[in-house]
Amino acid sequence: MLSPQLLVLFGSQTGTAQDVSERLGREARRRQLCCRVQALDSYPVVNLINEPLVIFVCATTGQGDPPDNMKGFWKFIFRRNLPSTSLCQMDFAVLGLGDSSYAKFNFVAKKLHRRLLQLGGSALLPVCLGDDQHELGWPSRFTLQLLQEAPRKCSEELSVAGTDPQGPPSELQPFLAPMVTNQRVTGPSHFQDVRLIEFDISGSGISFAAGDVVLIQPENAASRVQQFCQLLGLDPDQHFMLQPQEPGVPCPERLPQPCSVRRLVSQYLDISSVPRRSFFELLACLSPHELEREKLLELSSARGQEELCEYCTRPRRTILEVLCDFPHTASAVPPAYLFDLIPPIRPRAFSIASSLLAHPERLQILVAVVQYRTRLKEPRRGLCSSWLASLDPGQGPVQVPLWVRSGGLKFPETRDTPVILVGPGTGVAPFRAAIQERVARGQIGNVLFFGCRQRDQDFYWEAEWKELQERGCLTLITAFSREQEQKVYVQHRIREQGPLVWELLERRATPSTCRPACRTP
């Protein structure tokens, strides 16, 4: 090609496909190829007919589903009316990222490869299938100009608040929802801290149905932000401007221009995530310290993967902790390279645990605060759940950036169609929304199997369930696994209630015809 052009398009759910795609982009640029790297849904798919060379990097989620950021592309590319010569000028390669322990291993990559061939594309090589079960310098994307003075206008506040929203709240323009309550709902002696959190969504334009999910954009803890800035010699109050190094590379849309270092570290850089192999590879290129550089190169090499697993993956060591272990290297990292080294903080999805019919202008979630121990001294903590648990609306106004997405759970709309809901622990959250919605609409036949450890410690919404049961709106069947010598789980209760379950499944009977079999154990 006279002017080498390469396009790398990725579909990523957890960030791995994006990480691999950006590595491909760096390798291409190192070889003097002009390369663009984009998420599939952010790329105008109609332009694909003009692309001469494309690499698709696709993860597979769930039971053979495409990642969220390629669902629009997926729907378009499988249109039946697309001509069979649509992509006849395109050479392509497909790299799939999957896990061979799942039945539909790399299903998305395999299906996409076949579809591109059907549309006339020319495959450069057979579909490449990455397997998570297998053992097995570069220029920065941006230039970063530090400003000597803070900007007069607070562009950060304007960009977050979304003063002129276009359409419903989204990832690029979330709604800053006031937190109304943040209540622990597990007993004081229970091993897990579970929170019922309520947000005020009045005036947001947000609507949702049972089964939908809310996405929340979390922040790093202030103490970790301070530690990171000290380690890298950054002033958190200093502002900067970003400029892409190459055409076609957009600046991060979630960051205002200008932006403070504090905003960058607290709300964008995922310093609490576990680094991938590429992190060590890139960090080694930046290291001025001989011993640290040798160790980083060893950890990023093929022969060093077992040591990397022992050092980082198994104990869940974070990016911040790794940088603390390599202080000479950390202090030498140019700020512009932070965007290549550290992935952005991803939103976390929670099942919505309430119905707008029962709680107008409110949105509730049930959050289990993630905390566990590895061989490291400091306990591992979930970024979003720990951040949410730390917020106290009783101490002053608290706002959380969020938006809503359609979920995978769908419930029957007909009045007489019964539902059997099995929701142990916090998994009961979306079923509470469904029950509230169905009761408000007069839908009957609501059967809930709920399981937890102990009645007095983690029986979520006990009073609410019992009140609905007394009204004849719910059949509640419980399993408390730790209240007797032999553990009892929901599957045991389902087996005991076999006649009821079969009656509902096979004959679609209403509860009135089988109510005597529905006693709460």
State the average pLDDT over residues 500-508.
84
Give me the domains of the chain, ranges plus CATH numbers: 5-131 (3.40.50.360), 177-201+347-405 (2.40.30.10), 221-341 (1.20.990.10), 419-507 (3.40.50.80)
Tell me the two tokens of residue 294: 């040798």
Whether residue 98 is annotated as binding a ligand: the answer is: yes
Whether residue 99 is annotated as binding a ligand: the answer is: yes
Whether residue 448 is annotated as binding a ligand: the answer is: no
Please tell me the distance from the alpha carbon of residue 150 to that of residue 239, in angstroms, as a whole number.
6
CA angle, 270 then 271 then 272, to 5°: 90
C-alpha separations of 124 from 53, 91, 121, 200, 474 in Å: 9, 6, 10, 52, 58
Please tell me the distance from the alpha carbon of residue 446 to that of residue 443, in angstroms, as a whole number.
8
Say what the pLDDT of residue 402 is.
97
Whether residue 351 is annotated as binding a ligand: the answer is: yes
Whether residue 372 is annotated as binding a ligand: the answer is: no
Lowest-pLDDT range of 162-171, 369-378, 404-413, 415-424: 162-171
Question: Who wins on pLDDT, 294 or 160?
Answer: 294
Tell me the two tokens of residue 403: 């938006």
State the average pLDDT over residues 300-306.
89
The predicted model scores a pTM of: 0.79
> 228 near 203, Cβ under 8 Å?
no
- Mark residue 396 as left, alpha or beta (left: phi above 0; alpha: psi -120 to 50; beta: remaining): left
Whether residue 50 is annotated as binding a ligand: the answer is: no
Say what the pLDDT of residue 141 is.
83
Please tell me the distance from the alpha carbon of residue 203 to that of residue 14, in angstroms, as a whole number.
31
Say what the pLDDT of residue 515 is.
40
Whether residue 249 is annotated as binding a ligand: the answer is: no
CA angle, 167 then 172 then 173, to 5°: 50
Cα within 13 Å of Cα(433), Cβ side: 28
Whether residue 260 is annotated as binding a ligand: the answer is: no
Tens digit of pLDDT for each residue in 84-110?
A: 999 999 999 999 998 887 888 899 999
How many residues does this entry show for the chain? 521
3-state secondary structure of 450: strand
Whether residue 406 is annotated as binding a ligand: the answer is: no
Whether residue 405 is annotated as binding a ligand: the answer is: no
Tens digit of pLDDT for each residue in 414-450?
A: 888 899 999 999 999 999 999 999 999 999 899 999 9
Tell me the two tokens of residue 382: 């979930």
Whether residue 33 is annotated as binding a ligand: the answer is: no
Q: 516 Cβ partners below 8 Å, 6+ apart?
A: none
Whether residue 100 is annotated as binding a ligand: the answer is: yes
- pLDDT band (50, 70, 90) for residue 162: very low
Tens digit of pLDDT for each residue in 188-237?
A: 999 999 999 999 999 999 999 999 999 999 999 999 999 999 999 999 99
Please tell me the distance from the alpha carbon of residue 108 to that of residue 118, in angstroms, as a whole number.
15
Q: Quick check: 170 pLDDT over 90?
A: yes
Q: Quick check: 471 pLDDT over 70?
A: yes
Say what the pLDDT of residue 135 is.
55
Say what the pLDDT of residue 260 is.
96
